[in-house]
Amino acid sequence: MDNPVDSRALDLALDLARRGPLTENPQVGCVVLGPGGEVLGQGWHRGAGTAHAEVAALADAAARGHDLARTTGWSAVVTLEPCRHTGRTGPCTRALLDAGVARVVVGAPDPTPTAGGGAAELRAAGVDVVVLDDPRAHELVRPWARAHRHRRPAVTWKYAATLDGYSAATDGSSRWITGPVARADVHARRAQHDAVLVGTGTALADDPALTVRDASGAPLPQQPLRVVVGLRDLPAGARLLDGSAETVHLRTRDPREALAALWERGVRSVWLEGGPRLAAAFWRAGLVDDVVAHLAPALLGSGRSALGDLGATSIGDALRLQLTGAHVLGGDVVVLARPTDPTPGPVPDQTPSDQQQEA
């Protein structure tokens, strides 16, 4: 990216986009710049049915006292190509044109036939459009695009383990393998997903709450759906039935069947926190899209492995992943990885029922 003003604005727009949830719509951020490159407004998409990032940024500029209709030469820097279709909200291309935008910088093109084409529409109206194809902007769209390509929720498997790969000691104890900084990171990532999923084994053994809490331990106002998969009943006093968040019990052992049921409920992203057996079932079915591993600098030597049997009998059978990130969190390390993606292919148009939910 040659333009340092565009570069700084895109960095800010990407940071804004990551505040949004991984739900029915992609994460998108937008920054409105004045003719001298000053920030006039900023916004991000906060979830289905709310204002898109461009509209939020325009509203923020107005709230700051900027009259864009009387400002010449202002621009919008947005992580994803502005949409040109009407869903729950109107097209962002029309909002930008009505506001008098002169230039639009796009981080990544929209991969869907319905919403894509916004850049061409803006150019046809005389707007200067620059499409950067920034890898970070493409990465933001990836979970949403993958979910719609496969017509199932995108699945992120999270686990915590010692350096030698154990998630619990021989006596079953597992609190706490990692420290408070890593646990806060789990809550922040969990909060971005539509649903958090465990098996009945984990639900019965650990009695987890699976709610999202802030740094002080207080629950957040918006909670992901709590999902339990398996045939066994939960006791009446289980924390998962305490009413602090919605809980659904899917009485199946089939991961694909569970995801199909969640897709029908409008769930587009799943945070998988189940035990080793459930995690292995998702891996064997090819249903894990991303991995978030929190590793503590500790050794147990025996105990419960983080992952169950995948059928590998030799090193050649190992499931190799692509490392996408790693950094220190307090006294622990978080490792981000994913299976190697085949050529992804196009994102299909949404069905009419999807279009009512999305956008």
Residues annotated as catalytic are 54
Residue 61, marked binder: no
DSSP string, 26-85: ---EEEEE-TTS-EEEEEE--STTSPPHHHHHHHHHHHTT--GGG--S-EEEEEEPPP-S
Residue 92, marked binder: yes
Residue 8, marked binder: no
Residue 160, marked binder: yes
Whole-angstrom CA distances from 194 to 153, 215, 233 are 9, 20, 23
Residue 271's φ and ψ, nearest 5 degrees, are: -100, 105
Residue 30, marked binder: no
Residue 83, marked binder: yes
Residue 210, marked binder: yes
Residue 194, marked binder: no
Residue 74, marked binder: no
- Host H or E run for residue 241: none
Residue 132 amino acid letter: L
Residue 279, marked binder: yes
Q: Is 131 helix (H, G, I), strand (E, B) or coil?
A: strand
Residue 46, marked binder: no
Residue 239: which residues within 8 A CB-CB, separation 6 or more? 207, 208, 209
Residue 276, marked binder: yes
Q: How far apart are CA 347 and CA 85, in angstroms?
A: 16
Residue 281, marked binder: yes
Residue 29, marked binder: no
Q: How far apart are CA 18 and CA 16, in angstroms?
A: 5
SS (H, E, C) 143-212: HHHHHHHHCCCEEEEEEEEECCCEEECCCCCCCCCCCHHHHHHHHHHHCCECEEEEEHHHHHHHCCCCCC
Bind-site residues for substrate: 174, 190, 206, 210, 213, 273
Bind-site residues for Zn(2+): 52, 83, 92
